[in-house]
Structure 1
Amino acid sequence: MVESSMMDSSLISGIDWVRFWEDSYDTRSRIMRRDYEIDDWSERAEDYSESRRTNQYEFGESVYATLDHYGVIPPNSQVLEIGSGPGTFVIPFARRVGHMTAVEPSEGMIRMIHRNAAEAGVKNYSILPKLWQDVNSTDLRGKYDLTITSTVIWMFRDIMDQIRRMEEVTQGYCCVVGGIGTGQTFEAELWKKIMGDTPHPQYPEYPLIYNLLYMHGRIPQVRIIDYTSMRTPENMFRMYRVFYSIYTEITPEVEKTIREALYRDSGEGPCVRKYRSAIVWWDPAVRRKELRGIA
Protein backbone atom coordinates (compact mmCIF):
# COMPACT_ATOMS: atom_id res chain seq x y z
CA MET A 1 0.00 0.00 0.00
CA VAL A 2 1.35 3.43 -0.93
CA GLU A 3 0.55 6.34 1.37
CA SER A 4 -0.67 9.63 -0.07
CA SER A 5 -0.85 12.87 1.88
CA MET A 6 -3.48 15.55 1.40
CA MET A 7 -2.94 17.81 -1.59
CA ASP A 8 -1.80 21.42 -1.39
CA SER A 9 -5.02 23.47 -1.59
CA SER A 10 -3.19 26.08 -3.69
CA LEU A 11 -2.95 23.53 -6.48
CA ILE A 12 -6.70 22.95 -6.74
CA SER A 13 -8.27 26.31 -5.96
CA GLY A 14 -9.74 28.56 -8.61
CA ILE A 15 -10.97 25.72 -10.84
CA ASP A 16 -14.58 24.73 -11.40
CA TRP A 17 -14.09 21.01 -10.84
CA VAL A 18 -17.77 20.20 -11.31
CA ARG A 19 -17.65 21.81 -14.75
CA PHE A 20 -14.45 19.87 -15.45
CA TRP A 21 -16.25 16.65 -14.52
CA GLU A 22 -19.31 17.51 -16.65
CA ASP A 23 -17.15 18.42 -19.65
CA SER A 24 -15.36 15.08 -19.42
CA TYR A 25 -18.71 13.29 -19.23
CA ASP A 26 -20.10 15.23 -22.21
CA THR A 27 -16.98 14.70 -24.33
CA ARG A 28 -17.17 10.96 -23.71
CA SER A 29 -20.89 10.90 -24.52
CA ARG A 30 -20.35 12.61 -27.88
CA ILE A 31 -18.16 9.80 -29.21
CA MET A 32 -20.44 7.00 -27.99
CA ARG A 33 -22.71 5.38 -30.56
CA ARG A 34 -25.02 4.21 -27.78
CA ASP A 35 -25.34 4.48 -24.01
CA TYR A 36 -24.15 1.84 -21.59
CA GLU A 37 -27.00 -0.51 -20.80
CA ILE A 38 -27.67 -2.84 -17.89
CA ASP A 39 -27.45 -5.75 -20.34
CA ASP A 40 -23.84 -4.77 -21.09
CA TRP A 41 -22.95 -5.44 -17.47
CA SER A 42 -24.90 -8.70 -17.47
CA GLU A 43 -22.95 -9.80 -20.54
CA ARG A 44 -19.68 -8.97 -18.77
CA ALA A 45 -20.71 -10.48 -15.43
CA GLU A 46 -18.87 -13.80 -15.54
CA ASP A 47 -15.76 -12.26 -17.07
CA TYR A 48 -15.75 -9.39 -14.59
CA SER A 49 -16.18 -11.83 -11.73
CA GLU A 50 -13.09 -13.72 -12.88
CA SER A 51 -10.99 -10.55 -12.76
CA ARG A 52 -12.23 -9.46 -9.32
CA ARG A 53 -11.55 -12.89 -7.80
CA THR A 54 -7.84 -12.61 -8.64
CA ASN A 55 -5.65 -13.50 -5.65
CA GLN A 56 -8.67 -14.22 -3.45
CA TYR A 57 -10.32 -10.82 -4.02
CA GLU A 58 -7.06 -8.94 -3.61
CA PHE A 59 -8.63 -5.62 -4.67
CA GLY A 60 -11.57 -5.79 -2.27
CA GLU A 61 -9.41 -7.17 0.53
CA SER A 62 -6.93 -4.30 0.16
CA VAL A 63 -9.70 -1.70 0.25
CA TYR A 64 -11.20 -3.27 3.39
CA ALA A 65 -7.80 -3.55 5.11
CA THR A 66 -7.04 0.11 4.44
CA LEU A 67 -10.36 1.41 5.75
CA ASP A 68 -10.17 -0.88 8.77
CA HIS A 69 -6.64 0.29 9.57
CA TYR A 70 -7.81 3.91 9.72
CA GLY A 71 -10.87 3.18 11.84
CA VAL A 72 -13.42 3.81 9.10
CA ILE A 73 -15.31 0.55 9.64
CA PRO A 74 -16.44 -0.06 13.24
CA PRO A 75 -17.38 -3.57 14.46
CA ASN A 76 -20.74 -4.86 13.24
CA SER A 77 -20.95 -2.11 10.62
CA GLN A 78 -23.85 -1.75 8.22
CA VAL A 79 -22.28 -1.10 4.81
CA LEU A 80 -23.92 0.01 1.55
CA GLU A 81 -22.10 -0.51 -1.74
CA ILE A 82 -23.25 1.32 -4.87
CA GLY A 83 -22.67 -0.65 -8.06
CA SER A 84 -21.54 -3.93 -6.51
CA GLY A 85 -20.75 -5.83 -9.68
CA PRO A 86 -19.98 -9.51 -9.00
CA GLY A 87 -19.28 -8.98 -5.30
CA THR A 88 -15.96 -7.14 -5.44
CA PHE A 89 -16.51 -5.69 -1.96
CA VAL A 90 -19.50 -7.78 -0.88
CA ILE A 91 -17.41 -10.90 -0.33
CA PRO A 92 -14.37 -9.51 1.55
CA PHE A 93 -16.42 -6.96 3.53
CA ALA A 94 -19.29 -9.28 4.51
CA ARG A 95 -16.80 -11.68 6.07
CA ARG A 96 -16.05 -9.02 8.68
CA VAL A 97 -18.93 -6.52 8.99
CA GLY A 98 -22.43 -6.87 10.41
CA HIS A 99 -24.29 -6.64 7.12
CA MET A 100 -23.52 -5.71 3.52
CA THR A 101 -26.16 -4.17 1.23
CA ALA A 102 -25.42 -4.25 -2.49
CA VAL A 103 -27.06 -1.81 -4.90
CA GLU A 104 -26.83 -3.63 -8.23
CA PRO A 105 -29.32 -3.50 -11.14
CA SER A 106 -27.73 -6.09 -13.46
CA GLU A 107 -29.26 -9.57 -13.29
CA GLY A 108 -26.00 -11.09 -14.48
CA MET A 109 -24.00 -9.39 -11.74
CA ILE A 110 -26.60 -10.35 -9.12
CA ARG A 111 -26.21 -14.00 -10.14
CA MET A 112 -22.45 -13.65 -9.70
CA ILE A 113 -22.89 -12.12 -6.23
CA HIS A 114 -25.04 -15.05 -5.15
CA ARG A 115 -22.65 -17.59 -6.67
CA ASN A 116 -19.52 -16.00 -5.22
CA ALA A 117 -21.13 -15.48 -1.81
CA ALA A 118 -22.25 -19.10 -1.65
CA GLU A 119 -18.76 -20.27 -2.55
CA ALA A 120 -17.26 -18.02 0.14
CA GLY A 121 -19.83 -19.04 2.75
CA VAL A 122 -21.11 -15.46 3.04
CA LYS A 123 -24.76 -14.99 4.01
CA ASN A 124 -24.97 -11.59 5.74
CA TYR A 125 -25.77 -9.55 2.67
CA SER A 126 -28.81 -8.30 0.78
CA ILE A 127 -29.32 -6.80 -2.67
CA LEU A 128 -31.26 -3.76 -3.86
CA PRO A 129 -31.78 -4.65 -7.54
CA LYS A 130 -31.86 -1.04 -8.75
CA LEU A 131 -29.81 1.68 -10.29
CA TRP A 132 -28.46 3.93 -7.55
CA GLN A 133 -30.27 6.85 -9.18
CA ASP A 134 -33.58 5.03 -8.63
CA VAL A 135 -32.98 4.31 -4.94
CA ASN A 136 -34.96 6.57 -2.60
CA SER A 137 -32.12 7.81 -0.38
CA THR A 138 -34.58 9.48 1.99
CA ASP A 139 -35.93 6.05 2.97
CA LEU A 140 -32.38 4.98 3.90
CA ARG A 141 -31.35 8.14 5.73
CA GLY A 142 -28.63 7.49 8.31
CA LYS A 143 -28.97 3.72 8.04
CA TYR A 144 -25.37 2.84 7.19
CA ASP A 145 -21.99 3.22 8.86
CA LEU A 146 -20.23 3.32 5.49
CA THR A 147 -21.39 4.03 1.95
CA ILE A 148 -18.85 2.99 -0.66
CA THR A 149 -18.65 2.91 -4.44
CA SER A 150 -16.11 1.97 -7.07
CA THR A 151 -16.06 1.68 -10.86
CA VAL A 152 -19.44 3.34 -11.50
CA ILE A 153 -18.78 6.87 -10.24
CA TRP A 154 -17.95 8.16 -13.73
CA MET A 155 -21.50 7.30 -14.86
CA PHE A 156 -22.96 10.18 -12.83
CA ARG A 157 -22.94 13.52 -14.63
CA ASP A 158 -24.65 15.08 -11.60
CA ILE A 159 -21.72 14.06 -9.46
CA MET A 160 -22.29 16.30 -6.43
CA ASP A 161 -25.99 15.37 -6.27
CA GLN A 162 -25.04 11.71 -6.09
CA ILE A 163 -22.35 12.38 -3.49
CA ARG A 164 -24.91 14.20 -1.34
CA ARG A 165 -27.24 11.20 -1.66
CA MET A 166 -24.38 8.94 -0.52
CA GLU A 167 -23.92 11.20 2.47
CA GLU A 168 -27.63 11.19 3.26
CA VAL A 169 -27.74 7.44 3.84
CA THR A 170 -24.70 7.22 6.10
CA GLN A 171 -24.23 8.05 9.76
CA GLY A 172 -20.52 7.42 9.40
CA TYR A 173 -18.21 7.67 6.41
CA CYS A 174 -18.44 7.78 2.62
CA CYS A 175 -15.81 6.29 0.33
CA VAL A 176 -15.04 6.42 -3.39
CA VAL A 177 -12.44 4.06 -4.81
CA GLY A 178 -11.14 5.42 -8.11
CA GLY A 179 -8.63 4.28 -10.67
CA ILE A 180 -5.27 5.92 -11.29
CA GLY A 181 -3.48 5.75 -14.61
CA THR A 182 -0.55 3.33 -14.50
CA GLY A 183 1.15 4.34 -17.73
CA GLN A 184 0.25 1.11 -19.56
CA THR A 185 0.22 1.63 -23.32
CA PHE A 186 -1.82 -1.42 -24.35
CA GLU A 187 -5.19 0.32 -24.03
CA ALA A 188 -4.09 3.42 -25.93
CA GLU A 189 -2.50 1.41 -28.73
CA LEU A 190 -5.55 -0.84 -29.17
CA TRP A 191 -7.87 2.18 -29.20
CA LYS A 192 -5.73 3.81 -31.91
CA LYS A 193 -5.87 0.69 -34.08
CA ILE A 194 -9.64 0.40 -33.81
CA MET A 195 -10.80 4.02 -33.50
CA GLY A 196 -8.08 5.91 -35.34
CA ASP A 197 -7.93 9.59 -34.41
CA THR A 198 -11.10 9.54 -32.29
CA PRO A 199 -10.04 10.81 -28.85
CA HIS A 200 -9.78 8.10 -26.21
CA PRO A 201 -12.66 8.45 -23.70
CA GLN A 202 -11.71 9.62 -20.25
CA TYR A 203 -13.17 8.07 -17.12
CA PRO A 204 -12.21 10.64 -14.46
CA GLU A 205 -11.85 9.27 -10.98
CA TYR A 206 -8.76 10.20 -8.98
CA PRO A 207 -7.56 12.93 -8.38
CA LEU A 208 -10.61 14.67 -9.81
CA ILE A 209 -12.96 13.20 -7.22
CA TYR A 210 -10.63 14.44 -4.46
CA ASN A 211 -10.69 17.97 -5.90
CA LEU A 212 -14.48 17.94 -6.15
CA LEU A 213 -14.82 16.92 -2.53
CA TYR A 214 -12.23 19.34 -1.21
CA MET A 215 -13.63 22.33 -3.06
CA HIS A 216 -17.10 21.54 -1.70
CA GLY A 217 -15.93 21.67 1.88
CA ARG A 218 -15.21 18.02 2.61
CA ILE A 219 -11.95 16.83 4.15
CA PRO A 220 -11.05 13.73 2.13
CA GLN A 221 -8.36 11.29 3.14
CA VAL A 222 -6.48 9.30 0.50
CA ARG A 223 -4.48 6.11 0.41
CA ILE A 224 -3.17 4.39 -2.71
CA ILE A 225 -3.22 0.62 -3.29
CA ASP A 226 -1.74 -1.61 -5.97
CA TYR A 227 -3.36 -4.83 -7.09
CA THR A 228 -3.37 -7.40 -9.88
CA SER A 229 -6.08 -8.62 -12.24
CA MET A 230 -5.74 -11.91 -14.10
CA ARG A 231 -8.02 -13.06 -16.91
CA THR A 232 -7.99 -15.61 -19.69
CA PRO A 233 -7.47 -14.27 -23.25
CA GLU A 234 -11.07 -15.21 -24.12
CA ASN A 235 -12.29 -13.34 -21.05
CA MET A 236 -10.39 -10.23 -22.15
CA PHE A 237 -11.68 -10.57 -25.70
CA ARG A 238 -15.30 -10.58 -24.52
CA MET A 239 -14.64 -7.60 -22.28
CA TYR A 240 -13.12 -5.55 -25.11
CA ARG A 241 -15.88 -6.61 -27.48
CA VAL A 242 -18.53 -5.17 -25.16
CA PHE A 243 -16.47 -2.04 -24.51
CA TYR A 244 -15.88 -1.22 -28.17
CA SER A 245 -19.50 -1.93 -29.10
CA ILE A 246 -20.31 1.27 -27.17
CA TYR A 247 -18.17 3.27 -29.59
CA THR A 248 -18.20 1.46 -32.94
CA GLU A 249 -19.66 -1.44 -34.91
CA ILE A 250 -18.05 -4.74 -34.01
CA THR A 251 -17.00 -6.08 -37.39
CA PRO A 252 -14.92 -9.22 -38.05
CA GLU A 253 -11.98 -6.87 -38.62
CA VAL A 254 -12.42 -5.30 -35.17
CA GLU A 255 -12.62 -8.73 -33.56
CA LYS A 256 -9.46 -9.80 -35.37
CA THR A 257 -7.64 -6.67 -34.22
CA ILE A 258 -8.58 -7.35 -30.60
CA ARG A 259 -7.55 -11.01 -30.73
CA GLU A 260 -4.21 -10.25 -32.40
CA ALA A 261 -3.41 -7.53 -29.86
CA LEU A 262 -4.20 -9.85 -26.96
CA TYR A 263 -2.08 -12.64 -28.44
CA ARG A 264 0.89 -10.30 -28.92
CA ASP A 265 0.48 -9.13 -25.33
CA SER A 266 -0.02 -12.44 -23.54
CA GLY A 267 0.22 -15.29 -26.00
CA GLU A 268 -1.81 -18.30 -24.93
CA GLY A 269 -1.30 -17.55 -21.25
CA PRO A 270 -3.37 -15.46 -18.85
CA CYS A 271 -3.62 -11.69 -19.32
CA VAL A 272 -2.13 -10.10 -16.22
CA ARG A 273 -2.69 -6.41 -15.50
CA LYS A 274 -1.24 -4.31 -12.70
CA TYR A 275 -3.53 -1.56 -11.46
CA ARG A 276 -3.40 1.29 -8.97
CA SER A 277 -6.42 2.79 -7.24
CA ALA A 278 -7.03 5.62 -4.77
CA ILE A 279 -9.20 5.00 -1.73
CA VAL A 280 -10.81 8.35 -0.92
CA TRP A 281 -12.94 8.61 2.20
CA TRP A 282 -14.47 11.39 4.24
CA ASP A 283 -16.78 12.07 7.17
CA PRO A 284 -19.76 14.10 5.85
CA ALA A 285 -20.27 15.63 9.29
CA VAL A 286 -16.81 17.23 9.23
CA ARG A 287 -16.36 20.22 6.94
CA ARG A 288 -13.63 22.77 6.40
CA LYS A 289 -14.43 25.83 8.49
CA GLU A 290 -14.04 28.36 5.69
CA LEU A 291 -16.56 26.47 3.57
CA ARG A 292 -19.01 25.47 6.30
CA GLY A 293 -22.52 25.83 4.97
CA ILE A 294 -21.56 25.18 1.33
CA ALA A 295 -23.29 22.07 -0.04
Structure 2
Amino acid sequence: MTYRETDWNAVWKELYDVNACCRGGDCGSNWESRERALAFLKQSRENPIRIRHVIRGLPVGPGARVLDIGAGPGTLAVPLAGVAAHVTAVEPATGMAGVMAEYAAESGVSNLTIVRKRWEDVDPAADLEGHYDVVVASYSLGMPDIRAAIEKMCEASSRWVYLFWFAGTTSWEQAMIDLWPQLHGREYQRGPKADVLFNVLYSMGICPNVETSRLEHVRRFPDLEAAVAEFREQYGVTIPRQEATLRDYLAGTLSENGGDLLLSGMTTRVKLWWEVTGAGE
Protein backbone atom coordinates (compact mmCIF):
# COMPACT_ATOMS: atom_id res chain seq x y z
CA MET A 1 0.00 0.00 0.00
CA THR A 2 1.33 3.43 -0.95
CA TYR A 3 1.21 6.58 1.17
CA ARG A 4 -1.72 7.95 -0.88
CA GLU A 5 -3.68 4.72 -0.39
CA THR A 6 -3.20 4.63 3.38
CA ASP A 7 -6.29 5.32 5.46
CA TRP A 8 -4.63 7.31 8.22
CA ASN A 9 -7.82 7.55 10.24
CA ALA A 10 -7.92 3.74 10.31
CA VAL A 11 -4.25 3.71 11.39
CA TRP A 12 -5.11 6.07 14.25
CA LYS A 13 -8.07 3.94 15.29
CA GLU A 14 -6.09 0.70 15.20
CA LEU A 15 -3.34 2.14 17.41
CA TYR A 16 -5.94 3.68 19.71
CA ASP A 17 -7.81 0.38 20.06
CA VAL A 18 -4.65 -1.66 20.67
CA ASN A 19 -3.53 0.79 23.35
CA ALA A 20 -6.99 0.83 25.00
CA CYS A 21 -7.07 -2.98 24.99
CA CYS A 22 -3.59 -3.09 26.50
CA ARG A 23 -4.65 -0.72 29.29
CA GLY A 24 -7.92 -2.55 29.81
CA GLY A 25 -10.30 0.20 28.76
CA ASP A 26 -10.83 3.90 28.22
CA CYS A 27 -8.53 6.05 30.35
CA GLY A 28 -11.30 8.65 30.66
CA SER A 29 -12.93 6.57 33.39
CA ASN A 30 -9.93 7.34 35.63
CA TRP A 31 -11.19 10.89 36.05
CA GLU A 32 -14.70 10.18 37.33
CA SER A 33 -13.33 10.48 40.87
CA ARG A 34 -13.37 13.97 42.39
CA GLU A 35 -10.24 13.14 44.38
CA ARG A 36 -8.27 12.24 41.25
CA ALA A 37 -9.50 15.36 39.48
CA LEU A 38 -8.43 17.52 42.43
CA ALA A 39 -5.02 15.85 42.46
CA PHE A 40 -4.64 16.50 38.72
CA LEU A 41 -5.54 20.19 39.14
CA LYS A 42 -3.14 20.54 42.06
CA GLN A 43 -0.33 18.94 40.07
CA SER A 44 -1.00 21.22 37.09
CA ARG A 45 -1.02 24.36 39.21
CA GLU A 46 2.20 23.36 40.97
CA ASN A 47 3.91 22.69 37.64
CA PRO A 48 2.46 25.36 35.33
CA ILE A 49 4.99 25.07 32.48
CA ARG A 50 2.65 23.11 30.19
CA ILE A 51 -0.29 25.42 30.88
CA ARG A 52 1.76 28.55 30.16
CA HIS A 53 3.18 26.91 27.03
CA VAL A 54 -0.31 26.24 25.65
CA ILE A 55 -1.94 29.55 26.62
CA ARG A 56 0.92 31.70 25.30
CA GLY A 57 0.57 30.05 21.91
CA LEU A 58 -3.15 30.79 21.48
CA PRO A 59 -4.50 33.96 19.79
CA VAL A 60 -6.90 34.73 22.64
CA GLY A 61 -7.72 38.33 23.54
CA PRO A 62 -10.51 40.21 25.35
CA GLY A 63 -13.09 39.71 22.60
CA ALA A 64 -12.36 36.06 21.82
CA ARG A 65 -14.74 33.14 22.17
CA VAL A 66 -12.94 29.88 22.96
CA LEU A 67 -13.97 26.22 22.84
CA ASP A 68 -11.81 23.94 25.03
CA ILE A 69 -12.33 20.26 24.21
CA GLY A 70 -11.44 17.74 26.90
CA ALA A 71 -10.98 20.54 29.41
CA GLY A 72 -10.25 18.35 32.45
CA PRO A 73 -10.48 20.30 35.72
CA GLY A 74 -10.24 23.63 33.89
CA THR A 75 -6.46 24.00 33.83
CA LEU A 76 -6.78 25.91 30.54
CA ALA A 77 -10.44 26.87 30.52
CA VAL A 78 -10.43 28.87 33.76
CA PRO A 79 -7.30 30.96 33.00
CA LEU A 80 -8.54 31.52 29.44
CA ALA A 81 -11.89 32.73 30.78
CA GLY A 82 -9.96 35.40 32.62
CA VAL A 83 -8.77 36.74 29.25
CA ALA A 84 -11.46 35.85 26.71
CA ALA A 85 -15.02 37.08 26.35
CA HIS A 86 -16.38 33.55 26.79
CA VAL A 87 -15.13 29.98 27.11
CA THR A 88 -17.11 26.79 26.51
CA ALA A 89 -15.46 23.73 28.05
CA VAL A 90 -16.38 20.21 26.93
CA GLU A 91 -15.60 17.63 29.63
CA PRO A 92 -17.42 14.30 30.10
CA ALA A 93 -15.83 13.02 33.32
CA THR A 94 -17.96 13.78 36.38
CA GLY A 95 -15.01 14.39 38.68
CA MET A 96 -13.23 16.69 36.24
CA ALA A 97 -16.31 18.74 35.35
CA GLY A 98 -17.26 19.16 39.00
CA VAL A 99 -13.78 20.31 40.02
CA MET A 100 -13.68 22.69 37.04
CA ALA A 101 -16.92 24.31 38.21
CA GLU A 102 -15.45 24.73 41.70
CA TYR A 103 -12.19 26.13 40.29
CA ALA A 104 -14.12 28.65 38.18
CA ALA A 105 -16.21 29.77 41.16
CA GLU A 106 -13.12 30.16 43.35
CA SER A 107 -11.47 32.20 40.60
CA GLY A 108 -14.47 34.49 40.17
CA VAL A 109 -15.03 33.28 36.61
CA SER A 110 -18.61 33.67 35.36
CA ASN A 111 -18.09 33.50 31.58
CA LEU A 112 -17.42 29.75 31.45
CA THR A 113 -19.98 27.21 30.23
CA ILE A 114 -19.34 23.52 30.89
CA VAL A 115 -20.77 20.92 28.48
CA ARG A 116 -20.65 17.56 30.29
CA LYS A 117 -20.39 15.28 27.26
CA ARG A 118 -17.81 13.43 25.22
CA TRP A 119 -16.80 15.44 22.18
CA GLU A 120 -18.04 12.56 20.03
CA ASP A 121 -21.54 13.02 21.52
CA VAL A 122 -21.67 16.81 21.24
CA ASP A 123 -24.19 18.27 18.78
CA PRO A 124 -22.72 21.67 17.84
CA ALA A 125 -26.15 23.11 17.00
CA ALA A 126 -27.75 22.01 20.28
CA ASP A 127 -24.86 21.92 22.77
CA LEU A 128 -22.59 24.79 21.74
CA GLU A 129 -23.08 28.55 21.54
CA GLY A 130 -22.47 29.38 17.90
CA HIS A 131 -18.99 29.48 16.44
CA TYR A 132 -15.72 30.05 18.29
CA ASP A 133 -12.70 32.11 17.33
CA VAL A 134 -10.39 29.48 18.77
CA VAL A 135 -11.09 25.76 19.16
CA VAL A 136 -8.46 23.95 21.19
CA ALA A 137 -7.91 20.33 22.22
CA SER A 138 -4.90 20.22 24.54
CA TYR A 139 -3.58 16.67 24.99
CA SER A 140 -7.17 15.43 24.93
CA LEU A 141 -7.33 13.51 21.65
CA GLY A 142 -8.42 10.19 23.13
CA MET A 143 -10.94 9.76 20.31
CA PRO A 144 -10.98 6.62 18.14
CA ASP A 145 -12.47 8.36 15.08
CA ILE A 146 -10.11 11.32 15.00
CA ARG A 147 -11.17 12.46 11.53
CA ALA A 148 -14.80 12.87 12.57
CA ALA A 149 -13.66 14.67 15.73
CA ILE A 150 -11.56 17.12 13.69
CA GLU A 151 -14.35 17.71 11.19
CA LYS A 152 -16.61 18.71 14.08
CA MET A 153 -13.91 21.02 15.46
CA CYS A 154 -13.72 22.77 12.08
CA GLU A 155 -17.51 23.03 12.04
CA ALA A 156 -17.46 24.73 15.44
CA SER A 157 -14.66 27.17 14.57
CA SER A 158 -15.01 30.62 13.02
CA ARG A 159 -11.26 30.85 12.49
CA TRP A 160 -8.65 28.74 14.30
CA VAL A 161 -8.22 25.14 15.45
CA TYR A 162 -5.30 24.21 17.74
CA LEU A 163 -4.35 20.63 18.60
CA PHE A 164 -1.67 19.60 21.10
CA TRP A 165 -0.36 16.04 21.13
CA PHE A 166 2.76 13.94 21.65
CA ALA A 167 5.63 12.69 19.50
CA GLY A 168 7.66 9.60 20.25
CA THR A 169 7.52 7.81 23.58
CA THR A 170 6.34 9.96 26.48
CA SER A 171 8.06 9.72 29.85
CA TRP A 172 5.07 7.98 31.41
CA GLU A 173 4.79 5.54 28.50
CA GLN A 174 8.44 4.62 28.98
CA ALA A 175 7.62 3.55 32.52
CA MET A 176 4.79 1.41 31.19
CA ILE A 177 7.05 -0.10 28.52
CA ASP A 178 9.55 -0.97 31.25
CA LEU A 179 6.98 -2.47 33.63
CA TRP A 180 4.24 -4.02 31.50
CA PRO A 181 6.03 -7.29 30.67
CA GLN A 182 6.77 -7.86 34.37
CA LEU A 183 3.26 -6.90 35.46
CA HIS A 184 1.18 -8.48 32.72
CA GLY A 185 3.43 -10.78 30.73
CA ARG A 186 3.14 -8.83 27.48
CA GLU A 187 4.58 -5.71 25.87
CA TYR A 188 2.91 -2.35 26.33
CA GLN A 189 1.44 -0.96 23.11
CA ARG A 190 1.62 2.80 22.64
CA GLY A 191 -1.24 4.85 21.26
CA PRO A 192 -1.16 6.99 18.08
CA LYS A 193 1.20 9.95 17.97
CA ALA A 194 1.59 13.25 16.14
CA ASP A 195 2.94 11.65 12.96
CA VAL A 196 -0.36 9.85 12.38
CA LEU A 197 -2.32 12.95 13.40
CA PHE A 198 -0.46 15.06 10.82
CA ASN A 199 -1.19 12.50 8.11
CA VAL A 200 -4.89 12.43 9.04
CA LEU A 201 -5.00 16.22 8.69
CA TYR A 202 -3.08 16.15 5.42
CA SER A 203 -5.45 13.53 4.01
CA MET A 204 -8.31 15.90 4.89
CA GLY A 205 -6.75 18.69 2.84
CA ILE A 206 -5.43 20.46 5.94
CA CYS A 207 -1.76 21.45 5.96
CA PRO A 208 -1.24 22.57 9.56
CA ASN A 209 1.44 24.72 11.09
CA VAL A 210 3.64 22.55 13.31
CA GLU A 211 5.69 23.47 16.35
CA THR A 212 7.62 20.96 18.43
CA SER A 213 9.01 21.44 21.93
CA ARG A 214 10.61 19.38 24.67
CA LEU A 215 9.05 19.87 28.09
CA GLU A 216 9.68 18.17 31.39
CA HIS A 217 6.84 16.19 32.90
CA VAL A 218 7.03 16.08 36.70
CA ARG A 219 4.97 14.16 39.24
CA ARG A 220 5.46 14.95 42.92
CA PHE A 221 4.59 12.61 45.80
CA PRO A 222 4.94 12.99 49.58
CA ASP A 223 6.22 9.42 49.93
CA LEU A 224 6.56 6.07 48.18
CA GLU A 225 3.16 4.84 49.38
CA ALA A 226 1.44 7.80 47.72
CA ALA A 227 3.22 7.05 44.45
CA VAL A 228 2.23 3.37 44.58
CA ALA A 229 -1.39 4.33 45.30
CA GLU A 230 -1.37 6.78 42.38
CA PHE A 231 -0.11 4.28 39.83
CA ARG A 232 -1.80 1.10 41.10
CA GLU A 233 -4.96 1.51 38.99
CA GLN A 234 -3.21 3.13 36.04
CA TYR A 235 -0.83 0.18 35.75
CA GLY A 236 -3.53 -2.44 36.25
CA VAL A 237 -2.05 -3.69 39.52
CA THR A 238 -4.42 -6.09 41.28
CA ILE A 239 -2.31 -8.71 43.08
CA PRO A 240 0.54 -8.52 45.65
CA ARG A 241 3.21 -9.69 43.21
CA GLN A 242 2.38 -6.88 40.80
CA GLU A 243 2.33 -4.31 43.59
CA ALA A 244 5.76 -5.45 44.77
CA THR A 245 7.09 -5.03 41.22
CA LEU A 246 5.60 -1.55 40.97
CA ARG A 247 6.96 -0.58 44.38
CA ASP A 248 10.48 -1.75 43.51
CA TYR A 249 10.40 0.14 40.20
CA LEU A 250 9.25 3.38 41.80
CA ALA A 251 11.73 3.06 44.66
CA GLY A 252 14.55 2.87 42.10
CA THR A 253 13.17 5.62 39.85
CA LEU A 254 11.86 8.38 42.13
CA SER A 255 14.27 11.11 43.17
CA GLU A 256 14.17 13.13 46.39
CA ASN A 257 13.54 16.87 46.26
CA GLY A 258 12.65 19.11 49.17
CA GLY A 259 11.24 16.24 51.21
CA ASP A 260 9.10 14.97 48.33
CA LEU A 261 9.68 12.25 45.76
CA LEU A 262 9.71 13.23 42.08
CA LEU A 263 9.07 11.22 38.94
CA SER A 264 10.24 13.26 35.99
CA GLY A 265 11.19 12.93 32.37
CA MET A 266 11.34 14.88 29.12
CA THR A 267 8.52 14.52 26.61
CA THR A 268 8.25 15.81 23.04
CA ARG A 269 5.07 17.78 22.53
CA VAL A 270 3.64 18.98 19.23
CA LYS A 271 1.31 21.87 18.47
CA LEU A 272 -0.60 21.71 15.17
CA TRP A 273 -2.83 24.59 14.14
CA TRP A 274 -4.57 25.97 11.07
CA GLU A 275 -7.06 28.56 9.94
CA VAL A 276 -10.35 27.02 8.94
CA THR A 277 -11.25 27.86 5.34
CA GLY A 278 -14.74 29.32 5.03
CA ALA A 279 -15.41 28.85 8.74
CA GLY A 280 -18.60 30.29 10.15
CA GLU A 281 -20.02 31.17 6.74
Distance 1:239 1:81 in 2: 27
Q: Does 1:205 align with 2:205?
A: no
Distance 2:125 2:161 in 1: 16
Show the counterpart of 2:42: 50
2:170–2:266: 8 Å Cα contact kept in structure 1?
Answer: no
Show the counterpart of 2:161: 174
1:83–1:149: 8 Å Cα contact kept in structure 2?
Answer: yes
Q: Does 1:227 align with 2:215?
A: yes
The partner residue of 2:57 within 66, 83, 95 is: 66
Alpha-carbon deviations, 1:202-254, whole Å to 9, x = none?
A: 22131221111012101211112333333215554344222233xxx611222
Show the counterpart of 2:113: 126
Distance 2:158 2:196 in 1: 25
For residue 152 of structure 1, report the CA deviation from its aligned partner: 3.0
Are the structure 2 counterparts of residues 83 and 239 from structure 1 closer, same or farther at C-alpha, using a change threshold of 3 Å?
A: farther
Which ranges in structure 1 are unaligned for 5 or more consecutive residues? 1-10, 288-295
* Range that drifts further, 230-239 or 160-169: 230-239
AA of the residue aligned to 1:225: S
Distance 1:143 1:45 in 2: 29
Q: Does 1:148 align with 2:136?
A: yes
Show the counterpart of 1:242: 233
Show the counterpart of 2:176: 187
AA of the residue aligned to 1:41: W
Distance 1:157 1:39 in 2: 15
Alpha-carbon deviations, 1:189-209, whole Å to 9, x = none?
A: 12232123x231222131221
Show the counterpart of 1:7: none
Distance 1:130 1:254 in 2: 35
1:141–1:170: 8 Å Cα contact kept in structure 2?
Answer: no
Distance 1:286 1:65 in 2: 26
Distance 1:12 1:239 in 2: 41
Show the counterpart of 1:293: none
Are the structure 2 counterparts of residues 46 and 259 from structure 1 closer, same or farther at C-alpha, using a change threshold of 3 Å?
A: farther
Show the counterpart of 2:275: 283
Distance 1:38 1:186 in 2: 20
Please report the TM-score for the alignment, with normalisation by the length of structure 1. 0.79
Distance 2:211 2:273 in 1: 9
Distance 1:237 1:84 in 2: 26
The partner residue of 1:136 within 98, 118, 123 is: 123
Show the counterpart of 1:254: 242
Q: Give the 3-state SS of the residue equivalent to 1:157 in structure 2.
A: coil
Show the counterpart of 1:40: 30
Please report the TM-score for the alignment, with normalisation by the length of structure 2. 0.82
For residue 118 of structure 1, report the CA deviation from its aligned partner: 4.3
Are the structure 2 counterparts of residues 63 and 235 from structure 1 closer, same or farther at C-alpha, using a change threshold of 3 Å?
A: farther
Distance 1:135 1:214 in 2: 24
2:176–2:188: 8 Å Cα contact kept in structure 1?
Answer: no
2:131–2:157: 8 Å Cα contact kept in structure 1?
Answer: yes
Alpha-carbon deviations, 1:55-108, whole Å to 9, x = none?
A: 3x321211111223xxxx354211111111122211332222112211112221
Show the counterpart of 1:271: 263
Q: Give the 3-state SS of the residue equivalent to 1:24 in structure 2.
A: helix
Distance 1:30 1:83 in 2: 21
Instruction: Supply the RMSD in Å over aligned alpha carbons.
Output: 2.7
Which ranges in structure 2 are unaligned for 5 or more consecutive residues? none
Are the structure 2 counterparts of residues 237 and 94 from structure 1 closer, same or farther at C-alpha, using a change threshold of 3 Å?
A: farther
Distance 2:22 2:111 in 1: 42
Distance 1:109 1:215 in 2: 33
Distance 1:39 1:28 in 2: 15
Q: Give the 3-state SS of the residue equivalent to 2:191 in structure 1.
A: coil
AA of the residue aligned to 1:100: V
